[in-house]
Amino acid sequence: MIRALEFHDSRLMTISEAIGRTEIVLRGYVHQWERHRDVWKGTGWIQQVRIRVLDSIPQTAEPEGPVGLSDGAIDTSDGRLNNGVELPFEASGPCTISIQTTQGDIITVTGREVFVIAEGEPTFVEALPEDMRSKEAVEADPRGKSSSWRCARAGRSTARRYPIWLINYVFALYVLAAIIGLPVYYWWKDRSRRK
């Protein structure tokens, strides 16, 4: 089973600061993917999620009261996680948490270590379509159709996703056609002039 927090559709409940530590509590929208035989089935849940940043420096004022989130990201030394993070999650080294509220405010916290954990019992919300399957679920089942982490339902592309091998194959055909086709075209054009 794979579980991941989606910042979009989550709600920021509280931000609390102590000496060298910041805690962000979300009413999180959580994706859950389970494999039944050869099919991955996804569901959406609401669950409390706590983000703990150690040696933290909050860079923005906290908003008042619970507020909806439209986006978020976690930057670590291993890279950037856009709008979603697998649960549980932890990373050491320099890190930055950025979340954007539905009112346009951006909350940023930097620190040295980050932990993201789900707490309490989740509440079922909905079944998820196949194209929202997380990158981790795809890597666990490489025969799957989806190839990217698409957490945000509002920003999700409805375009059909083609497997990378097909894209590479079509590109190779175009290159081959150009390599063979251009000399043949110029040879034929030169031959036509001589007649």
Residue 102 lies in a domain: yes
**What DSSP line would sit under 55-123, residue for residue?**
S-EE-SPPPSS-EEEEEEEEEETTEEEESEEEESEEEEEEEEEEEEETTS-EEEEEEEEEEEEEEEEEE
Is 87's pLDDT higher than 80? Answer: yes
**Mean pLDDT of the 165-177 span:** 78
- In a domain? residue 76: yes
Domain that holds residue 124: 2-140
* Structural domain count of the chain: 1
pLDDT at 17: 86
What pTM was computed for the model?
Answer: 0.67
- With respect to residue 70, please indicate whether it lies within any of the assigned structural domains: yes
pLDDT digits (tens, 9 = 90+) for 102-150: 988 899 999 999 999 999 999 999 998 877 775 555 555 544 433 333 3
The pLDDT of residue 134: 58
For residue 137, the model assigns a pLDDT of: 53
In a domain, 31, yes or no: yes
Q: Identify the weakest region by mean pLDDT among 35-44, 87-96, 133-142.
A: 133-142
Q: What percent of the chain has pLDDT over 90?
A: 44
Query: How would you write 9-37 as a 3-class SS string?
Result: EEEEEEEEEECCEEEEEEEEEEEEEEEEC
Mean pLDDT of the region 51-70: 83
